[in-house]
């Protein structure tokens, strides 16, 4: 049985991690996630998925990596494994549609890093997060360090990476890592509604917005400025913009219906 799968509800696709009880990452989990992300990439390219929600089933979101995956690895093999983890995060990050991670419980190491590859992160009030690799002599290899820097700053990222401590969702919310903090009972329903709202938006414009956000994060404001005219100009060729302008003139703001084209 697959440890990761894709399900769909209208224009929203869900990437579901399901390997109870701990949702540990092992070779099969990585392979199943690669297949699921390939499927999501195809759906997004075809316009069949206009938003993606990442969630997990079970008592925890992710308890990290199965430690058996690390045993006996040398430097070169360790680098290969870290590259596989990082590729998962990068593939999720490159999806040209809005992505939302929905964290309902404990979320450690690569599970946390995967969520940091999403545009937005929502969490239950009793969820918790950690990059705990330091407790076994490792350092995060799935891109979590640098993505935490982008969200929370160097000093706070350093604290997580160097201590290996676990932090409550409320603290991650205060630091700007988590976008929304909700009671556990309401989390998934509200996140799904929000994902559906994003999926109903102007898909091409959203994809352009994502590329500009990533350019600013990775290369700074000047670099983002340099590509903004070319990127933003693409939106003028879309049917969504024409429909949006007509709707604004005829019916007022926020009444437009978008096709994603």
Structure tokens at 142: 């799935």
Cβ-proximal residues to 69 (8 Å cutoff; 6+ apart), any chain:
25, 26, 27, 81
For the segment 14-57, what is each residue's pLDDT rounded down to a tens digit? Answer: 999 999 999 999 999 999 999 999 999 999 999 999 999 999 99
Whole-prediction pTM? 0.94
Q: Give the three-class secondary structure for 142.
A: coil
The burial class, CB within 10 Å (0-12 / 13-18 / 19+), for 159 is middle
Structure tokens at 36: 């699921």
The burial class, CB within 10 Å (0-12 / 13-18 / 19+), for 108 is buried
Distance (Å, whole) CA 154 – CA 135: 20
Distance (Å, whole) CA 46 – CA 147: 28
Query: What is the β-pairing status of strands 128-130 and 120-124?
Result: unpaired
Selection from 49, 207, 195, 199 nearest residue 121 by Cα = 195
Cβ–Cβ under 8 Å, residues 54 and 95: no
Structure tokens at 133: 């690799």
Q: Is the peptide bond before 127 cis (omega within 30 degrees of 0)?
A: no
For residue 145, what is the DSSP state?
A: H
Q: What is the pLDDT of residue 252?
A: 85
**Tens place of pLDDT per residue across the chain (261 aa):** 899 999 999 999 999 999 999 999 999 999 999 999 999 999 999 999 999 999 999 999 999 999 888 888 899 999 999 999 999 999 999 999 999 999 999 999 999 999 999 999 999 999 999 999 999 999 999 999 999 999 999 999 999 999 999 999 999 999 999 999 999 999 999 999 999 999 999 999 999 999 999 999 999 999 999 999 999 999 999 998 888 888 878 898 887 889 888
């Amino acid at each position: 049985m697959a440890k990761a799968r894709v399900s769909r509800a209208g224009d929203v696709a869900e990437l579901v991690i399901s390997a109870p009880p701990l949702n540990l990452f092992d070779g099969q989990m990585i392979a199943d996630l690669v297949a699921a992300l390939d499927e999501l990439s195809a759906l997004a390219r075809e316009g069949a998925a206009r938003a993606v929600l990442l969630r997990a089933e079970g008592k925890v979101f992710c308890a990290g990596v199965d430690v058996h995956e690390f045993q006996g690895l040398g430097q070169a093999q360790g680098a290969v494994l870290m590259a596989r983890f990082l590729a998962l995060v990068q593939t999720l990050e490159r999806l040209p549609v809005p992505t939302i991670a929905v964290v309902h419980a404990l979320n450690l190491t690569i599970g946390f890093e995967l969520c940091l590859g999403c545009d937005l992160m929502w969490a239950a009030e009793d969820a918790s997060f950690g990059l705990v690799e330091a407790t076994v002599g490792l350092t995060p290899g799935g891109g979590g360090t640098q993505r935490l820097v982008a969200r929370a700053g160097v000093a706070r990222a350093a604290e997580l990476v160097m201590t290996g401590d676990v932090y409550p969702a409320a603290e991650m919310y205060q630091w700007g890592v988590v976008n929304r903090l909700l009671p556990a009972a309401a989390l998934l329903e509200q996140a799904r509604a929000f994902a559906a709202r994003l999926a109903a938006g102007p898909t091409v414009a959203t994809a352009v917005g994502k590329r500009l956000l990533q350019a600013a994060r990775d290369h700074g404001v000047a670099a983002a400025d340099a590509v903004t005219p070319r990127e933003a100009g693409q939106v003028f060729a879309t049917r969504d913009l024409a429909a949006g302008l007509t709707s604004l003139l005829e019916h007022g703001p926020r009444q437009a219906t978008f096709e994603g084209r």
